[in-house]
Chain A
Amino acid sequence: MSILRRLPLLAAAAAVFLVGFWFLAGHRLLLRHISRATGRQEVEVIGCWNCHLPRSRTELRRGRPHPEPRALAPLPNGLLAVACGPTREIVLVDPAAGRAQPPVPVPGDPAGLAVAPDGGLWATLAGPGLVVELDPATLTERRRLQVGLRPAGLAFAAGGERLFVANAGDGTVSVLDPAAGRELARVEAGREPFAVAASPDGARVAVVSRMASVGRPDRIPTSELTLLDGRSGRVEARIPLPSCHLSEGLAFTPDGSRLLVPAVRVRNLLPIVQVARGWVMSSVLAVVPLADPTPRLLPLGGPETPFPDPGGIAVDAAGRRVFIAGGGGDEIEVLDLEALLAAADALDPAAPEDFSLNRHFLRRRFACGDNPRGLALLAGAEPLLAVAERLDDTVALFRPDGSLAERIPVGRPVREDPVHRGDRVFHDAGYAFQGAFSCRSCHPGGHTDGLVYDFDIDGIGRNMVLNRSLRGVAGTAPFKWNGKNPTLQRQCGPRFAMVLTRADPFPEDRLEDLVAFIQSLPPPPPLAGAGRVAGIDTGAVARGEAIFFRDRRRDGSPIPPSGRCVTCHPPPHYSRFQKADVGTRSPWDGSGEFDIPHLTGIGSKAPYLHDGRARTLEEIWTAEGVGDSHGAVTDLGKTGLNDLVQFLRTR
Chain B
Amino acid sequence: MKLSPVLLAFSLAAAGLRGQADPWRQPVEPRRPALLYDRFESFDRSDGLPSDKVTTVLALADEVWVGTDHGLAVRRDGTWRSFTPDDGLPHRYVTSLSLDERGDLWISTLRGLARLSGGRFQVYRQTDSGLMNDVVYHVVADGPLVWAATAAGLSCLDTRTGSWALWDHENSIMHEPWCYALAVGPDRTWVGVWGGGVVELERSTGLWREYRDPDGEMEIDLLRDDGPIHDVSSFVAWDQGVLWQATYFGLSRYDGRRWRSYLAEDTGLPGNFLNHVSARGHTAFLAGDQGFAVFDGETCVRYRRAPDGGCEVSIWRDGAEAECRHLDTAPADDYVLWAQGGDSEVWLATGRGLSHGWREGEGAPSPAPDQENQDGNH
Bound-complex Cα distance A649 to B120 (A): 26
Write the chain B residue with the least CB distance to A623: B127
Are A529 and B127 within 8 A (Cβ)? no
Are B161 and A188 within 8 A (Cβ)? no
Bound-complex Cα distance A467 to B79 (A): 46
Are A236 and B161 within 8 A (Cβ)? no
Are B166 and A639 within 8 A (Cβ)? yes
Bound-complex Cα distance A235 to B116 (A): 10
**Which parts of B193-231 form the interface with A (CB within 8 Å)?**
203-204, 206
Bound-complex Cα distance A638 to B128 (A): 11
Query: What chain B residues lie within 8 Å of A623 (beta carbons)?
Result: 127-128
Identify the interface centre among B144, B163, B203: most chain A CB within 10 Å of its CB: B163
Q: Is B156 an interface residue (CB 8 A)?
A: yes
Q: Is B11 an interface residue (CB 8 A)?
A: no
Bound-complex Cα distance A232 to B203 (A): 29
Bound-complex Cα distance A423 to B163 (A): 35
Query: Besides A533-B164, A623-B127, 16 other CB < 8 A contacts?
Result: A172-B160, A186-B144, A188-B102, A226-B118, A235-B103, A237-B118, A527-B162, A533-B157, A540-B163, A622-B128, A623-B128, A637-B168, A637-B170, A638-B133, A638-B168, A639-B170
Are B165 and A529 within 8 A (Cβ)? no
Query: What chain A residues lie within 8 Å of B144 (beta carbons)?
Result: 186, 534
Are A238 and B163 within 8 A (Cβ)? no
Which of A226, A239, A529, A642 contacts B161, CB < 8 Å?
Answer: A529
Are B118 and A534 within 8 A (Cβ)? no
Interface flags for A508-539 (1: CB within 8 Å of B; 0: not) read 00000000000000000001111111101010
User: Shortest distance in angstroms between B119's beta carbon and chain A's nearest beta carbon?
Assistant: 5
Q: Is A618 an interface residue (CB 8 A)?
A: yes
Q: Is B366 an interface residue (CB 8 A)?
A: no
User: Which B residues contact A (CB, under 8 angstroms)?
Assistant: 101-104, 117-120, 126-130, 132-133, 143-145, 152-153, 156-168, 170-171, 203-204, 206
Identify the interface centre among B117, B152, B153, B161: most chain A CB within 10 Å of its CB: B161
Are B165 and A188 within 8 A (Cβ)? no
Which of B118, B153, B164 contacts A238, CB < 8 Å?
Answer: B118
Are B163 and A531 within 8 A (Cβ)? yes
Bound-complex Cα distance A398 to B130 (A): 52
Given known contacts A534-B144, A642-B130, A238 and B170 CB-to-CB distance under 8 angstroms: no
Are B203 and A534 within 8 A (Cβ)? yes
Given known contacts A236-B118, A540-B163, A646-B163, A638 and B152 CB-to-CB distance under 8 angstroms: yes
Q: Is A338 an interface residue (CB 8 A)?
A: no
Bound-complex Cα distance A530 to B118 (A): 27
Query: What chain A residues lie within 8 Å of B153 (beta carbons)?
Result: 638-639
User: Shortest distance in angstroms between B368's beta carbon and chain A's nearest beta carbon?
Assistant: 18
Write the chain B residue with the least CB distance to A229: B103
Task: Identify 29 residue pairs between A and B in the complex whose beta-carbon atoms are under 8 Å apart, listed by A's number.
Answer: A170-B162, A186-B144, A186-B160, A187-B102, A226-B118, A235-B102, A235-B103, A235-B117, A238-B117, A239-B118, A527-B161, A527-B162, A530-B161, A533-B156, A533-B163, A533-B164, A534-B143, A536-B204, A536-B206, A616-B129, A618-B127, A619-B128, A622-B126, A622-B128, A637-B170, A638-B153, A642-B166, A646-B163, A649-B163
Query: What chain A residues lie within 8 Å of B206 (beta carbons)?
Result: 536, 538
Bound-complex Cα distance A232 to B102 (A): 9
Which of A529, A536, A618 contacts B130, CB < 8 Å?
Answer: A618
Interface flags for A603-620 (1: CB within 8 Å of B; 0: not) read 000000000000110110
Bound-complex Cα distance A452 to B120 (A): 24
User: Shortest distance in angstroms between A648's beta carbon and chain B's nearest beta carbon?
Assistant: 12
Bound-complex Cα distance A132 to B290 (A): 60
Query: What chain B residues lie within 8 Å of A642 (beta carbons)?
Result: 130, 164-166
Are B161 and A227 within 8 A (Cβ)? no
Write the chain B residue with the least CB distance to A531: B163
Write the chain B residue with the least CB distance to A172: B160
Bound-complex Cα distance A185 to B160 (A): 10
Query: What chain A residues lie within 8 Å of B161 (beta carbons)?
Result: 527-530, 532-533
Bound-complex Cα distance A188 to B100 (A): 12
User: Which A residues contact B (CB, under 8 angstroms)?
Assistant: 170, 172, 185-188, 226-227, 232-240, 527-534, 536, 538, 540, 615-616, 618-619, 622-623, 637-639, 642, 645-646, 649
Query: What chain B residues lie within 8 Å of A185 (beta carbons)?
Result: 101-102
Query: What chain A residues lie within 8 Å of B171 (beta carbons)?
Result: 639
Write the chain A residue with the least CB distance to B152: A638
Bound-complex Cα distance A528 to B160 (A): 10
Q: Which 4 pairs, one residue from A and one from B, show the smallest C-beta to C-beta distance?
A: A529-B161, A238-B118, A622-B127, A235-B118
Write the chain A residue with the least CB distance to B167: A639
User: Shortest distance in angstroms between B109's beta carbon and chain A's nearest beta carbon?
Assistant: 18
Write the chain A residue with the least CB distance to B150: A638
Query: What chain B residues lie within 8 Å of A240 (beta carbons)?
Result: 120
Question: How many interface contacts (CB-CB < 8 Å) are there between A and B?
Answer: 107
Bound-complex Cα distance A172 to B162 (A): 11
Bound-complex Cα distance A227 to B120 (A): 12
Are A235 and B126 within 8 A (Cβ)? no
Query: What chain B residues lie within 8 Å of A534 (beta carbons)?
Result: 143-145, 158, 203
Which of A188, A536, A616, A638 contacts B117, CB < 8 Å?
Answer: A188
Given known contacts A237-B119, A238-B118, A638-B153, A532 and B163 CB-to-CB distance under 8 angstroms: yes
Identify the interface centre among B156, B158, B168: most chain A CB within 10 Å of its CB: B158
Are A615 and B102 within 8 A (Cβ)? no
Bound-complex Cα distance A646 to B206 (A): 18
Write the chain B residue with the least CB distance to A226: B118
Are B120 and A238 within 8 A (Cβ)? yes
Identify the interface centre among A528, A639, A649: most chain B CB within 10 Å of its CB: A639
Are B163 and A538 within 8 A (Cβ)? yes
Are A536 and B160 within 8 A (Cβ)? no
Query: What chain A residues lie within 8 Å of B104 (beta carbons)?
Result: 188, 235
Bound-complex Cα distance A188 to B144 (A): 11
Query: What chain A residues lie within 8 Å of B145 (beta carbons)?
Result: 533-534
Given known contacts A236-B118, A622-B126, A530 and B163 CB-to-CB distance under 8 angstroms: yes
Write the chain A residue with the least CB distance to B121: A238
Are B163 and A529 within 8 A (Cβ)? yes
Are B103 and A232 within 8 A (Cβ)? yes
Bound-complex Cα distance A233 to B103 (A): 9
User: Shortest distance in angstroms between B123's beta carbon and chain A's nearest beta carbon?
Assistant: 11
Bound-complex Cα distance A533 to B144 (A): 9
Given known contacts A639-B167, A642-B130, A234 and B158 CB-to-CB distance under 8 angstroms: no
Query: What chain B residues lie within 8 Å of A637 (beta carbons)?
Result: 168, 170
User: Shortest distance in angstroms between A151's beta carbon and chain B's nearest beta carbon?
Assistant: 15
Identify the interface centre among B152, B160, B206: most chain A CB within 10 Å of its CB: B160
User: Shortest distance in angstroms between A66's beta carbon and chain B's nearest beta carbon?
Assistant: 33
Write the chain A residue with the least CB distance to B172: A639
Bound-complex Cα distance A616 to B118 (A): 23
User: Shortest distance in angstroms between A143's beta carbon and chain B's nearest beta carbon?
Assistant: 22
User: Shortest distance in angstroms between A41's beta carbon and chain B's nearest beta carbon?
Assistant: 33
Bound-complex Cα distance A237 to B127 (A): 27
User: Shortest distance in angstroms between B83's beta carbon and chain A's nearest beta carbon?
Assistant: 15
Query: What chain B residues lie within 8 Å of A532 (beta carbons)?
Result: 158, 161, 163
Bound-complex Cα distance A226 to B118 (A): 8
Bound-complex Cα distance A234 to B116 (A): 12
Are B118 and A227 within 8 A (Cβ)? yes
Write the chain B residue with the least CB distance to A227: B118
Write the chain A residue with the least CB distance to B158: A533
User: Shortest distance in angstroms between B60's beta carbon and chain A's nearest beta carbon?
Assistant: 12
User: Shortest distance in angstroms between B144's beta carbon and chain A's nearest beta carbon?
Assistant: 7
Bound-complex Cα distance A227 to B127 (A): 30
User: Shortest distance in angstroms between A596's beta carbon and chain B's nearest beta carbon?
Assistant: 23
Query: What chain A residues lie within 8 Å of B157 (beta carbons)?
Result: 533
Bound-complex Cα distance A236 to B204 (A): 34
Query: What chain B residues lie within 8 Å of A531 (beta carbons)?
Result: 163
Query: What chain A residues lie within 8 Å of B102 (beta carbons)?
Result: 185-188, 233-235
Bound-complex Cα distance A234 to B168 (A): 34
User: Shortest distance in angstroms between A613's beta carbon and chain B's nearest beta carbon?
Assistant: 12
Query: What chain B residues lie within 8 Å of A236 (beta carbons)?
Result: 118
